[in-house]
Structure 1
Amino acid sequence: MASRILLILLLSTQALWAVAQSGGIRGRVTDGSGQALTGVNVTLPGRNMGTATASDGTFTLSGISPGTHTVRFSMVGYQLPDRTVTVGEDVADLGTVTMSDASVMAGEVVVSASRRPEKLTEAPATISVINSRQISELPSFNVGELLARQKGVDYIRTGVLGTGLNVRGFNSAFNPKNLQMNDARLSTLIATGLPLGPLSSVVKEDIERVEVILGPSAALYGPNAHNGLVNTLSKDPRTSAGTTAALGVGNQSVFSARFRHAQILNSKFAFKVTGEYTKGMDFPYVDTVYYNNTAFAKAATPTTPAVPPKFHAAEELELDRSFKSLHGEAALYYSLTDKADVILSYGGNNSSYVAQTNAGRNQIKDWQVHYLHARYVSPHVFAQLYHTWSMTDKTYAINQRTQNYLSFKDAGFSEEEARRRSYSEQWFGQNQDAGIALKRGALFRDDSRRINGELQYNNEFKGFAVVLGTQYQRDIADSKHTYLFDQNGAIVINQIGAYGQVERAFGSGFKAIVAARADQHDRYGFNFIPKAALVWTKNDQSVRLTYGRGIAAPTILNLDGYLFGGLLIGNGEGYTLSDGTVIEKLKVETINSFETGYKGKLSEKFFVDANAYYNVSENFLSPAINIATQGRKVVKRGDTPISQVIPGTPDAGAAVLLTYVNFGKVNTYGADLGLNYYLTKTVGLALNYSWFGYELDKKDLRNDGNKDGKVVAEIDLPINTPAHKMSLAVNYSGKKFFGSVFTRWVQEYDFFSGINVAAEANPELGIKENARYGRTWNYGPLGGFVNVDLSAGYRINTYLTASAQVSNVFDSEVREFVASPFIGRLYSAELKVMLPAMGK
């Protein structure tokens, strides 16, 4: 026994001596201004060794065997070529290493494709990046404008305030299929699943970068990362300490005041706080309003024809085109160790504006969204818990309220009573003595909450890079029975998901990625979501083949909506018609996407990003459609008689009921091309082009979206995407001056979304331009324009920057979305003050 103990001690001593004799690598990492960079990943490629820089930018890698080694530095938004270092018995000191802004995209580090840092060229997806320099040089409060400059993105502008995006077809005025996130937190409304948009609490000056992924990302991010992902990452106060204040003005009465302050308190604590107040007046536009099976429409421009006499013409009741938003965030960073942080943050927003939907426009009144967020971040473990809540008491559907008001006025009721009852009732009858008031609620209330939790682990094991995680979400939706089926209390839905990804590097630059996710939802059940990719990389160039599956999950509104007194009800239970026909309850919409792509730096000045894809989509989630057709009535919702669901409905059933259904199968395909060429270090050219097409079996009645017995692509499976679009930008960014000339062309295309129609004349479908179609007014197709934007700025000194922008320089008649105004010329100017960190 004694000899065994002695042998063990001897071997242990030899092992410790060997470690002591092994060398190491140390250094300090800063940015271009000399400020320490915290959290830079320092790794030895091909070996399971790595660390992250401390708060002062220093790092040490120990236990390295003697020899020549490659050291890789990676951090989001920065780039640095790999370093080669010779290690002996002592520690090799690299001294101060400076990372530069990632302006040449091949060296840029991204995190969204694999939920871990990797070089842009090595990512298994098409990614567009909007970096902090581009954001800081934008003379506008609205960062969404930069989405127009990204390849493969269908950018839309609905007014001065509203911007949005879609990817690869099937857009609508109520589109939750592009997942949007801020700092790993869902940036979506609870009941509808829609992106927060103007309800976001993020302030422009606090955005480090925005990463836009084209194609499904559901395997790692879950439902509704269906055909795209937008991931916004905020700045770390330890690498961006200081104070920024900005004032912006523009036409349409735009005024914006913003600030950001970030400070390092000591080696452990740092914090940041931001705030913004923005207001303005949107362009004039009057939407169509429906009243007792008649309609009215008023032209948005003098060039459109007069309203026909048979229309009931009136202004939208109390339409308020002004918009305003007050929002901000605060965050506290605590360095638990040199490699682990705890981050606590809060954000809130209170906004008012006009919003588009596929059932008419809504007057958003003092809608608030808040969140509390806790994160633990370390090189191998990420954990978060956050609570989101949404509140409004005054928001209403403009068209329904106007219909209600007109019904009472035409029956002889007083102005005061007509306005008072317009929020909740509609009058059916010729006068006050011969008629009945039915519930047709126009008011939307919201007191909803959502709780999310996530735990993720990532590491490398003998050449394998592994990411494992689990997520939990609990939605508590409460509309006070104004737009949801929640008369018995809040609707509570739980979902849990587990995901994993394994990446294996092979020789000659090849690597394979396999990922999968399993989701269980209280209402739509279990779903399995796979993903696979093969990537070859060499000398900042890569070729990839990918497969990904995405799902668009029914929202709470789709499942349990209850609008306008039961005229529109969600389909979470299924329906039975009077002839025995069963309308099945909703299930998820799916897409299977196959993509090939190339990304690479052909020279030090020329970067190319190209892809081609083929998608197979099934079980589309329809807009609200009437299922009581061909003389059939709706007699049951699930097992409940419809007379108990909609009070006052005859036992024979409802003659009209709008709901959502699954339908359709279609194949889509296309390609995206992005070219970036740097004439000099300060002048660059960016060209983006996208093509989109589809094939549809018109004999397959599964594609009959409106249930009229025939398949017409334009109205049954609306693609709502231009076949061709292209943009060209010339950008200049010097030490003092900066500016850009941006030109965008969008091919003309038809757009159908619920009641909204924007299409060219079609005699077969009875569509006329600048005329009524169905329940809406058709101003003609979208797109068909060339738009030019100009911007310029000057850094007066270290602290002060002035800039200005003109969008739509030639004042073209640009209409980018249904139920939206024609967007004219927009001017904006901005003055920004930037003060250095205290004590610097």
Structure 2
Amino acid sequence: MRQSSSRSTFIPKGLSKTTGFFLGSLWALCGVLPSFAGVNPDSQATDSRLLLTEELQWLQAESIVYTASRREQNVADTAAAVFIITQEDLRRSGVTNIPDALRMAPGIEVAQINASNWAITARGHNDRFGDKLLVLMDGRVLYSPIFTGVIWHEKDTLLEDVERIEIIRGPGAALWGSNAVNGIINIITKKSQDTQGGLVVAGGGSEERGFGAFRYGGKIGGDWAYRGYLKYFDRDKSWTPSGEDPNDQWNTAQGGFRIDGTPNTLDTVTLQGDLYDGEAGSAENAFIPPSANQTHREVGYQYSGGNILARWNRTWSKDTELTGQFYFDQTFDEYQYDDKFNILVRTYDFDFQHRFPLFDLHGITWGAAFREVDDHFTNSATIAVNPTDKSSSTYSGFIQDEFYLVDDVLKCILGAKAERNDLTKWEILPNARLLWKVDNRNTLWTAVAKSVRLPNRFHADVTDLYFDPLPENALYEGSPVAYFVAKGTHDFEAETLLSYEIGYRTYPSNQLHLDLTGFYYDYDNLRSLEPHLESTTPVTTENGTYLAIPVPSENKKSGQSYGVELSAEWQALPSWRLSGSYSYLEVLLQVDADSMDLRESFDAKYPKHQVKIQSSLALPMDTEFDLSFRYVDDIELYNYDGYLEMDTRLGWHPLPNLDLSLIGRNLLNSSHPEFRENTFYTVSSEVERSVYGKMTWRW
């Protein structure tokens, strides 16, 4: 952690942000060319052949996607905005966590709040608990039923086990259900057969104080394989411009296993699970009744959990298969204030899917699912939920039909999902897509879909969550301090989105891939926080009297968003790959005439422009050099200026099974802010420059 209170800024004073934006992009794209122009490709033939083999594997992995249609297919055959992060991308980036890996994807906003918390979304509406992005890991839903969104510091795996991360920008509710509103992320890990032998990872540095992992895989007979892993990391606290201690150091220990088998020629079976235990912290400038002044307090946070998943698949042909999956997931979170606020959540999920051809013209995929969530709360003095114990169930079924209107040229995809939950009852989620294969190098697609974001447990049942006090005399002459108090309601309806997308995908050559997507979103029934002044009541405690103004969640907001996303990948040389993206986003929100919404304005809480550029180069003597730049535009709500950052990795393979890396992250600024979290008044901190080393040994 840096102790200095000064902060360097990469963009000089007097240089406009727009100019800095384009200069930074130009430097990132072209500045590396002179540096490596003197490398003779003939002098590194062995390295080039090795990298070319890796790139062919990368191209093959990238061409396959599952999430877009719940079956494996070529990316060129998908009517959706798809981006894939491969294992090779993860290795070459040097990242140590999933959120930082997602920074590579176009149209994805990744903003770090402090050392252990992130706000991540696709196409706007970002927050610490980003509620419009559905995230899966091997078919297991990571989306929290309590807060909505993903609690990112709890969701981890051994990155070396990840085969690919599939990112779908745009709705996917017709296949994956509610909360798949702005996008879907599916983290897919390798089969046990692909992780045989041993693996050791170790490293550390300035912010990554230390991390390590061990994995071993083997065979069980001729048709079964297994692996097991252990990992641990310890991360330093971040830095605050105010000089306050952010108290956000973070460490976690995790272990897991996976078993894959083929008991016969038709069936495959998978059994996998994880256990984890960790602790983090934060600092808050909280409001505690009856005072109207903020109180600085440190918050401890301990979490633990585990999951187990079983999946069976029977495949009769490439077009006919049957899959059944069950998983159990448990999380326990303890927030340590002056007293403790605990949350225990158990999830039971069963999913069934069948795929078959109909009359040799239609490809039918249908399925059904059931999920039960049981939770238990231990309330504190400043936050409470009633009832403290609750069970909720969700039933759903879906069907999708893929067929060609013109053979191998024009494909139509129609589908819908029907879902019933305990809060909003029935939700019908239709979807229509059209794919035109202009030729074998050019594809056009368009889509119209409806999706919903469901209320969470807090929206329904919170009874005491105090925020934003009004000073004395604010309501009337002589009035005491007045507090807004979040109150649950079962009248809050699902937020809805009607989306329109169009995309163009082209391969001008075998070395170049371009992808262009445009979208328009129409939101309705968005959440607003509506104070009911007429229901204000006095509350007397041993410390004094204050007024409590109830604030339930209501649906008095609507909005639109639109944008463009462009991505490109270029195999410039057999030993050199370049990729990059640009995304533009505009969000417009309106409230009803009778609304008194207290929520932050999301139409000023996002970057309009993002640029991301990556370079991966193989050098002589078994070395690699990776370089990435990203520009993220202003966030007006927080008065955060846009920033330009650079990450680097220098890798060396002294032995075929040994990888040594030196990684630098956020090198252009000593620190920079990315996001602010105001729900719990967390002390704002900044992302710091960091350097660390990493060793990976396989046998």
- Cα distance in 2 for partners of 1:273, 1:122 equals 35
Larger RCO, structures 1/2 (Cα 8 Å, 6+ apart): 2
Deviation readout 1:243-262 (Å, 9 max, x if unpaired)? 11100101035200112222
Deviation readout 1:394-441 (Å, 9 max, x if unpaired)? x23xxxx4xxxxxxxxxxxxxxxxxxxx32xxxxxxxxxxxxxxxxxx
Give the structure 2 partner of residue 791 of structure 1.
649
Match of 2:675 among 808, 817, 824: 817
Aligned counterparts, 1:715-754, within 5 A: 715-733=600-618, 736-751=622-637
Pair 802,363 (structure 1): closer, same or farther in 2 beyond 3 Å: same
1:680 aligns with 2:573: yes
- Cα distance in 2 for partners of 1:543, 1:106 equals 22
Give the structure 2 partner of residue 375 of structure 1.
311
1:363 aligns with 2:299: yes
Match of 1:337 among 242, 264, 284: 264
Aligned counterparts, 1:86-105, within 5 A: 101-104=56-59
1:492 aligns with 2:391: yes
Match of 2:697 among 833, 837, 840: 833
Give the structure 2 partner of residue 29 of structure 1.
none
Match of 1:692 among 558, 578, 585: 585
1:725: how far off?
Answer: 1.4
1:533 aligns with 2:433: yes
1:102: how far off?
Answer: 4.4
1:648: how far off?
Answer: 8.5
Give the structure 2 partner of residue 767 of structure 1.
none
1:798: how far off?
Answer: 1.7
SS of match in other structure, 2:175: helix
- Cα distance in 1 for partners of 2:535, 2:595 equals 22
1:554 aligns with 2:554: no
- Cα distance in 1 for partners of 2:55, 2:665 equals 31
Give the structure 1 partner of residue 492 of structure 2.
586
- Cα distance in 2 for partners of 1:826, 1:381 equals 47
More displaced stretch, 260-269 vs 356-365: 356-365
Give the structure 2 partner of residue 617 of structure 1.
523
Match of 1:208 among 157, 163, 171: 163
How many residue pairs were aligned? 602
Any stretches of 5+ residues in structure 1 without a counterpart? Answer: 1-97, 286-298, 302-314, 402-421, 424-442, 574-584, 636-642, 708-714, 752-757, 759-780, 836-840
- Cα distance in 1 for partners of 2:458, 2:329 equals 18
More displaced stretch, 232-241 vs 728-737: 728-737
- Cα distance in 1 for partners of 2:594, 2:610 equals 30
1:681: how far off?
Answer: 1.9
1:234: how far off?
Answer: 0.5
- Cα distance in 1 for partners of 2:298, 2:72 equals 41
Give the structure 1 partner of residue 400 of structure 2.
501
- Cα distance in 1 for partners of 2:56, 2:114 equals 33
Equivalent position amino acid for 1:542 in 2: T
- Cα distance in 2 for partners of 1:362, 1:122 equals 51
Deviation readout 1:700-739 (Å, 9 max, x if unpaired)? 52675239xxxxxxx5454521111112222224793223
Match of 1:545 among 446, 463, 467: 446
Pair 704,600 (structure 1): closer, same or farther in 2 beyond 3 Å: farther
- Cα distance in 1 for partners of 2:55, 2:103 equals 26
Pair 657,357 (structure 1): closer, same or farther in 2 beyond 3 Å: farther
SS of match in other structure, 2:153: helix
Any stretches of 5+ residues in structure 2 without a counterpart? Answer: 1-52, 288-296, 316-320, 467-482, 678-683
- Cα distance in 2 for partners of 1:240, 1:475 equals 33
SS of match in other structure, 2:58: coil
Pair 485,160 (structure 1): closer, same or farther in 2 beyond 3 Å: closer
- Cα distance in 1 for partners of 2:286, 2:384 equals 15
Aligned counterparts, 1:261-340, within 5 A: 261-285=216-240, 300=242, 320-340=247-267
For the 8 Å contact 1:205–1:259, the answer to whether it is kept is no
1:334: how far off?
Answer: 2.6
Give the structure 1 partner of residue 14 of structure 2.
none
1:810: how far off?
Answer: 2.3
For the 8 Å contact 1:171–1:719, the answer to whether it is kept is no
Structure of greater Rg: 1
SS of match in other structure, 1:136: helix
Which TM-score applies when normalising by structure 1?
A: 0.68
- Cα distance in 2 for partners of 1:793, 1:246 equals 14
1:357: how far off?
Answer: 10
- Cα distance in 2 for partners of 1:534, 1:694 equals 26
For the 8 Å contact 2:326–2:351, the answer to whether it is kept is yes
For the 8 Å contact 1:106–1:120, the answer to whether it is kept is no
1:194 aligns with 2:149: yes
Give the structure 2 partner of residue 515 of structure 1.
415
- Cα distance in 2 for partners of 1:354, 1:120 equals 41
Give the structure 1 partner of residue 377 of structure 2.
479
- Cα distance in 1 for partners of 2:285, 2:93 equals 31
Equivalent position amino acid for 1:365 in 2: Y
1:209: how far off?
Answer: 0.6
Q: More strand per residue: 1 or 2? A: 2
Give the structure 1 partner of residue 351 of structure 2.
454
- Cα distance in 2 for partners of 1:681, 1:656 equals 65
Pair 144,284 (structure 1): closer, same or farther in 2 beyond 3 Å: same
Deviation readout 1:534-554 (Å, 9 max, x if unpaired)? 001231431101112121111
Give the structure 1 partner of residue 90 of structure 2.
135
More displaced stretch, 805-814 vs 350-359: 350-359
- Cα distance in 2 for partners of 1:691, 1:542 equals 22
1:514: how far off?
Answer: 0.5
Give the structure 2 partner of residue 804 of structure 1.
662
- Cα distance in 2 for partners of 1:467, 1:135 equals 32
- Cα distance in 1 for partners of 2:634, 2:97 equals 25
Equivalent position amino acid for 1:586 in 2: F
Deviation readout 1:354-375 (Å, 9 max, x if unpaired)? 3699989983532012112111
For the 8 Å contact 2:147–2:457, the answer to whether it is kept is yes
